[in-house]
A and B are shown apart, each in its own frame.
Chain A
Amino acid sequence: MRAIVTVVGRDQVGIIAAVCSQLSERNVNVLDISQTILQEYFTMVMLVDVSKCTVPFAQLAQELSDDGKERSLDIRVQREDIFNAMHRI
């Protein structure tokens, strides 16, 4: 199952590294990353494969979100399907 990880917040050193290590610790494979800085706001979108993830999806979402809050970042993970449904015919 593929999912989209989005990270939004004020730019700071080490965001990508931190998120990637969180993901790798839980055996989530990163397939693609795109990242931009919009008006000092760091915005990253990652496509990941969660089929071999070691924790349940809801827990993964919660832990990423909690880690993000510590760094004042809004991190969320959602199944890719919702974006496909809304933006692909």
Chain B
Amino acid sequence: MLNQKDILSTLSMIDQQNLDIRTITMGISLLDCCHSDPKVACDKIYDKITTSAQNLVKTGEDIEAELGIPIVNKRISVTPIALVAGASDTDDYVPFAQALDRAAKETGVNFIGGFSALVQKGMTRGDRNLIASIPEALAVTDLVCSSVNIGSTKAGINMDAVRLMGETVKACAARTAHQGGFGCAKLVVFCNAVEDNPFMAGAFHGVGEPERVINVGVSGPGVVHHALKSVKGQPFDVVAETIKKTAFQVTRMGQLVAQEASSRLGVPFGIVDLSLAPTPAIGDSVARILEEMGLEVCGGHGTTAALALLNDAVKKGGVMASSSVGGLSGAFIPVSEDEGMIAAARSGALTLEKLEAMTCVCSVGLDMIAVPGDTTAATISAIIADEAAIGMINQKTTAVRIIPAPGTQVGDTVELGGLLGSAPVMPCHTGSAEEFVARGGRIPAPMHSLKN
């Protein structure tokens, strides 16, 4: 029989350390829903999603009950809508977002991702239409998430798209000004976007993926934090080893849930994304893990090194625990969604510059950051370009999810609610990047040799 101590340690992880499965995400291909009549296309999209995912939420809840592990979100990701809607005779893609929203509500999922375009090298008519529709689409829907990939290591950075996305983020904030610019929380700008990411807002179902697929995202910053408390003062080798063991356990659980969901739904298993995804709850913070390593406050000197170790150890521990690891896999640092990050940003210890440095060594990028409402579109484009450059050169995924909350100034807080938390408005440089952004064109792809 199993060791009683092991059983109780699992229960304690679930009860006291906020261990959970963050998401079961079903990827659904919509490539066969293209139609020249947009109305027909939207109907096909709605029908396909509601049929494919009709049992997703129920199955998630059943697994949750049997295994006794919370599964926080059930989500759907779909083929980038720019590819599907591009076939339709229309320039307005908002109805497509509304069809996704209706389908998401019908199936009972928490979010649906894929109102997306991939424009790292150039934009098609469909891509332009989609980007133009984003502010309205995110304002009139509740559950739809949007992402745009504007750069990659192989293609370089599309600076025309970067300029467009700076303007789109501002338009999104203006269109949802009454909600503190909430629309921006559902919009991610990527460099090197991955096709099998189960996490929102950046999830979409890539064209290289099968008809349907189940991807699972695990979480567990609280578990890692708790484990590190038992090795206080010990060398970093011990810290890394402890994180690896914990990540292994957490990922095994994710793998089990993924297999169960896959076999019950009759949908192939894709990947487990072993990310440390924080929530605003006390004891579920990535920042507190970094502080546990000996930093007085997250954002101080040493933070980047601590995060690098954490990110790498999580991957090493998780890789052996799952038959297939993918997605973003690493540590997330969304400011508004992490109790420790919120505190550090409020105290001024955590700045945009430090966050940018941190994104060089962890998954994703500048995530859930509020900046003053008068931040210009050019400045946001420049922030996106900086972050994309980090991703492009370092062959990693980077992203920007930034909220220029209308009417706010440094020191204010934007309340986003639920898992999205509350974002302290952080200062950014006021030096103009207008001319830089106005150039447009493309930043060429980097060398793939002579690396240093």
Decide: B7 and A45 in contact? CB cutoff 8 A: yes
How far is B6's CA from A47's CA once the two chains are assembled, in angstroms? Answer: 14
Given A32-B1, A43-B8, A83-B6, residue A61 in contact with residue B253 (CB < 8 A): no
Whole-angstrom distance from the CB of A17 to the nearest CB of chain B? 20
Instruction: Answer whether residue B249 sits at the interface, using C-beta atoms and an 8 A cutoff.
Output: yes
Decide: B68 and A82 in contact? CB cutoff 8 A: yes
Instruction: Answer whether residue A58 sits at the interface, using C-beta atoms and an 8 A cutoff.
Output: yes
In-complex Cβ contact of A81 among B4, B65, B67 (8 A): B67
How far is B218's CA from A86's CA once the two chains are assembled, in angstroms? Answer: 13
Whole-angstrom distance from the CB of A39 to the nearest CB of chain B? 13
Whole-angstrom distance from the CB of B254 to the nearest CB of chain A? 9
Chain B residues with Cβ below 8 Å from A43 are 4, 8
Decide: A6 and B7 in contact? CB cutoff 8 A: yes
In-complex Cβ contact of A34 among B1, B253, B255 (8 A): B1
Given A6-B8, A81-B256, A82-B10, residue A87 in contact with residue B2 (CB < 8 A): yes
Whole-angstrom distance from the CB of B272 to the nearest CB of chain A? 12
What string of 1s and 0s marks CB contacts (under 8 Å) between A60-89 and chain B? 010000000000000011111111111100
In-complex Cβ contact of B69 among A4, A8, A61, A82 (8 A): A82
Decide: B252 and A61 in contact? CB cutoff 8 A: no
Decide: A34 and B256 in contact? CB cutoff 8 A: no
Chain A residues with Cβ below 8 Å from B8 are 6, 8, 43, 45
Given A6-B11, A43-B8, A45-B7, residue A84 in contact with residue B2 (CB < 8 A): yes
Given A57-B65, A58-B65, A76-B68, residue A34 in contact with residue B4 (CB < 8 A): yes
Decide: A80 and B68 in contact? CB cutoff 8 A: no
Instruction: Answer whether residue B449 sits at the interface, using C-beta atoms and an 8 A cutoff.
Output: no
Classify chain A's interface size: 20 to 34
Chain B residues with Cβ below 8 Å from A8 are 8, 11
Chain B residues with Cβ below 8 Å from A82 are 10, 67-69, 253, 256
Chain B residues 1-34 with CB under 8 Å of chain A are 1-4, 6-8, 10-11
Given A34-B1, A80-B2, residue A85 in contact with residue B256 (CB < 8 A): yes
Chain B residues with Cβ below 8 Å from A51 are none
Instruction: Answer whether residue A36 sits at the interface, using C-beta atoms and an 8 A cutoff.
Output: yes
Decide: B68 and A61 in contact? CB cutoff 8 A: yes
How far is B2's CA from A84's CA once the two chains are assembled, in angstroms? Answer: 8
Nearest B residue to A36 via CB reads B4
Whole-angstrom distance from the CB of A89 to the nearest CB of chain B? 9
Given A6-B7, A80-B2, residue A86 in contact with residue B249 (CB < 8 A): yes
Whole-angstrom distance from the CB of A23 to the nearest CB of chain B? 16
How far is B66's CA from A32's CA once the two chains are assembled, in angstroms? Answer: 20
How far is B68's CA from A4's CA once the two chains are assembled, in angstroms? Answer: 10
Chain A residues 1-58 with CB under 8 Å of chain B are 4, 6, 8, 31-32, 34, 36, 43, 45, 47, 57-58
Instruction: Answer whether residue B62 sits at the interface, using C-beta atoms and an 8 A cutoff.
Output: yes
Decide: A47 and B1 in contact? CB cutoff 8 A: yes
Chain B residues 147-164 with CB under 8 Å of chain A are none
Nearest A residue to B68 via CB reads A78
Choose among A79, A85, A86 the residue with the greatest number of B CB atoms under 10 Å from its CB. Answer: A86
Chain A residues with Cβ below 8 Å from B69 are 78, 82
Query: Top 3 nearest A-B pairs by Cβ distance?
Result: A78-B68, A58-B65, A87-B6
Residue numbers of A with Cβ under 8 A of B are 4, 6, 8, 31-32, 34, 36, 43, 45, 47, 57-58, 61, 76-87
Residue numbers of B with Cβ under 8 A of A are 1-4, 6-8, 10-11, 62, 65-69, 249, 252-253, 255-256
**Could you pull out 13 A-B pairs where Cβ atoms are within 8 angstroms?**
A6-B7, A6-B8, A8-B8, A45-B2, A45-B4, A58-B62, A77-B68, A78-B68, A80-B2, A81-B67, A82-B253, A83-B7, A87-B3
